[in-house]
């Protein structure tokens, strides 16, 4: 069992909740639904949480081609792999032992990945059970 903390999104808790004032319609022809379109649904979902134990949790969208942003997901993954490779090469050229960073890659659908990202506070406690 591994216990650690991760960094993530923290909502602004200092602002009070905004109440919606709604005027009731006179009949059904004046009714407009309260559906607010999700404006964050334009990019592929990719993010990394790093624990204080050095484990990195990668979250990917399972179907980036459906969101038409497969290239952005490829760039995200490629940039991270190049950065890791550069760090390993630099430590090899200096004849130093590279820092070991295990990683866990998780593919979820876009909706579930967003829910996880929004639900975790900045210093979340993570318990990882491996069976």
- 5-21 pLDDT, tens digit per residue, is 554 434 444 444 445 56
Q: What is the mean pLDDT of residues 77-103?
A: 91
pLDDT of residue 9: 39
Q: The pTM is what?
A: 0.61
- Of the candidates 70, 53, 54, 55, the one whose C-alpha atom is nearest the C-alpha of residue 105 is 55
CA distance 66 to 50: 28
pLDDT grade for 117, boundaries at 50, 70 and 90: confident
CA distance 20 to 107: 36
CA distance 6 to 99: 18
pLDDT of residue 52: 84
What is the side-by-side order of every strand in the sheet holding 46-50?
46-50, 56-61, 103-108
Q: Is the pLDDT of residue 68 over 90?
A: no
């Amino acid at each position: 069992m591994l216990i650690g903390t991760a960094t993530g999104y923290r909502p602004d808790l200092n602002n009070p909740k905004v109440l919606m004032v709604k005027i009731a319609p006179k009949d059904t022809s004046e009714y407009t639904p309260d559906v607010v379109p999700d404006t964050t649904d334009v990019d592929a979902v990719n993010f990394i949480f790093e624990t204080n134990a050095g484990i990195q949790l990668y979250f990917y969208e399972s179907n980036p081609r459906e969101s038409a942003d497969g290239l952005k997901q490829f760039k995200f993954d490629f940039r991270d792999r190049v950065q890791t490779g550069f760090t390993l090469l630099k430590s090899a050229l200096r004849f130093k032992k590279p820092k070991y960073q295990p990683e866990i890659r998780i593919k979820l659908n876009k909706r579930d990945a967003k829910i996880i990202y929004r639900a975790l506070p900045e210093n979340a406690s993570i318990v990882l059970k491996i069976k």
